Amino acid sequence: MLRAARFSLIAAILLGIAWWVSTIPGSITAHSGDITVTASAPVAIMILALIALFLTILFRVIGGIRRAPGGLSRWQGGRRQNLGQVAIQRGLTALAAGDAKGADAEAGRAQKLLGETPLVLLLTAESARLMGKHEQADAAFKKLTTHKDMAFLGHRGLAHHAAATGDVDAARTHALAAEDAYPGSTWARAARLDVAVKNQDWRSALGLTQAPHEVAAIATAAANAATDRTAGLNYAKQAIKAAPGFAPAVAAYAGRLFEADRIRAARKAIIKGWTITPHPMLAAAYLSKTTDPIERVQTASQLAAAKPGHPESEILLAETSLAAKLTGEARRHAQAAIAAGLNDQRPYAVLSALGDAPVDAPTPKWSCTACHAESTGWHPACPNCGKPGTLNWKTHTTALATTALATTS
Ligand SMILES: [Zn+2]
């Protein structure tokens, strides 16, 4: 009610002023050089009022812009930030797509827009690495190590490159620093384990893993390498505990017992291993102290009796019988080995030595579960990919076993 009254009052005053202005007589003339403008007094007053209103609004707008803190520069900064973020996003996508050139270009753009922020450094380093510019990559990773929250990534990048170039000491240093920067990191632990294995520092390596297959392989290597016999035996025991029946571990343990002239204990350990997993390495260890061919057949029979009818027991008897010129026994056991499912070249080699036609069959090998590389001898770490404890013994018995299953089902 009050507002309506006030509005009516103001309107009445304005109308009054307008009426009064319209009644002012005469005219106003303005001169500027040769130009002369003449207007009636009411029109001139209206124009002056409009100019005053326009100038008031203009000064207000300019004042507002000037008062806003860093108005224009802040707007420009925000734009750079946004463009920089877009460059980083595009660069990361290019990295994931394996587009080294694209990632490198975006990294350069991001650096111009944002400077050397940690994310820009990471993108620069990774794209440089992908381009094969290792010095530039290392420089960026090095700068990254000075940023508290990204130091881990810096050391990880440097450790990767050091490991790839075979600089084991630098790889170890950066893996340790990475673990400091991110305590409990599984990657840093794996990197340190990798370095310890490469250095054949079995003691350190054992402190860095609890995975049974890795412990078994590394402790076996430690048992074989130990100069102290007791330490060797203890490492071998640790390996057997991690993977009971693991042939290289049992062979290492028995080897150490043989060295100490504890023949019975050694053979007992091998028989125990044979009952879990019969393996040629165990057979070789069991027969290592016997040279006479007939005696070797008898000794082999003792071991084979721990797992009668097993393909490895049969092939052991076939091979020792052949060496002792017991041809009938050799043929019988070779055929029994094949019947038991062994279809690698060993039983066929025995039969062809007895005059049968040769059969082309694969040689049993150690095979890496990580990279599938094959090797004839056992190694604590894969000779191809370097991973510890990945070599598995691969005989050719499964195909026949699978066929048998298929026919019975
Ligand atoms: Zn491998």
Q: What CA–CA distance (Å, rounded) separates 279 from 298?
A: 18
Q: What CA–CA distance (Å, rounded) separates 154 from 377?
A: 38
| Residue 73 phi, psi (nearest 5) | -65, -30
Q: What CA–CA distance (Å, rounded) separates 92 from 125?
A: 12
More confidently predicted of 29 and 244: 244
Instruction: Tell me whether strands 365-368 and 374-375 are parallel, antiparallel or unpaired.
Output: antiparallel
CATH architecture of 82-187: Alpha Horseshoe (1.25)
Q: Where are the domains of the chain?
A: 82-187, 214-362, 363-409
Label residue 35 by pLDDT band (50, 70, 90): confident
Same fold, 82-187 and 214-362: yes
Ligand 1 mean position to 197 CA, how many Å?
13
| Residue 21 phi, psi (nearest 5) | -60, -40
Q: Is the pLDDT of residue 221 over 70?
A: yes
Ligand 1 mean position to 134 CA, how many Å?
26
Q: Is the pLDDT of residue 401 over 70?
A: no
Q: Is the pLDDT of residue 400 over 50?
A: no
Tell me if the pTM is above 0.95: no
Residue 405 has what pLDDT?
39
DSSP for 9-32, please give it.
HHHHHHHHHHHHHHT--SEEEEEE
Ligand 1 mean position to 389 CA, how many Å?
9
- Exposed, middle or buried, 321 (CB in 10 Å: 0-12/13-18/19+)? buried
Q: What CA–CA distance (Å, rounded) separates 82 from 78?
A: 6
Q: Is the pLDDT of residue 409 over 80?
A: no
Most confident of 16-20, 23-27, 312-316, 339-343: 312-316
Residue 71 has what pLDDT?
64
Residue 397 has what pLDDT?
66
Report, in this order, helix, strand and coil percent for the chain, each rounded to 5.
Answer: 70, 5, 25
Average pLDDT, the chain: 89
Both structure tokens of 83: 């463009």
**Mean pLDDT across 247-255:** 97
Ligand 1 mean position to 170 CA, how many Å?
23
More confidently predicted of 32 and 300: 300
**Residues, Cβ < 5 Å to ion ligand 1:** 368, 370-371, 373, 382, 384-385
Q: Which of 305, 307, 296, 289 is nearest to 245 (CA)?
A: 307
Q: Is the pLDDT of residue 217 over 70?
A: yes
Instruction: Give the tens place of pLDDT for each residue, 296-352.
Output: 999 999 999 999 999 999 999 999 999 999 999 999 999 999 999 998 999 999 999
CA distances from 180 to 152, 156, 184 (A): 8, 12, 9
- Catalogue the long-range contacts made by 390-395 (C-beta closer than 8 Å, 24 or more residues apart): 390/213, 391/217, 391/366, 391/367, 392/366, 392/367, 392/368, 393/247, 393/279, 393/364, 393/366, 393/367, 394/364, 394/365, 394/366, 394/367, 395/311, 395/342, 395/344, 395/364
Instruction: Give the tens place of pLDDT for each residue, 92-111.
Output: 899 999 998 999 999 999 99
Ligand 1 mean position to 385 CA, how many Å?
4
Q: Is the pLDDT of residue 88 over 80?
A: yes
**Mean pLDDT across 187-209:** 93
Q: Which of 222, 279, 220, 269 is nearest to 247 (CA)?
A: 279
Which residues, 6 or more positions from 109, have their beta carbon under 8 angstroms from its beta carbon? 83, 84, 87
Residue 69 has what pLDDT?
61
Residue 395 has what pLDDT?
81
Ligand 1 mean position to 186 CA, how many Å?
20
CATH fold for domain 214-362: 1.25.40
Ligand 1 mean position to 237 CA, how many Å?
25
Q: Is the pLDDT of residue 90 over 80?
A: yes
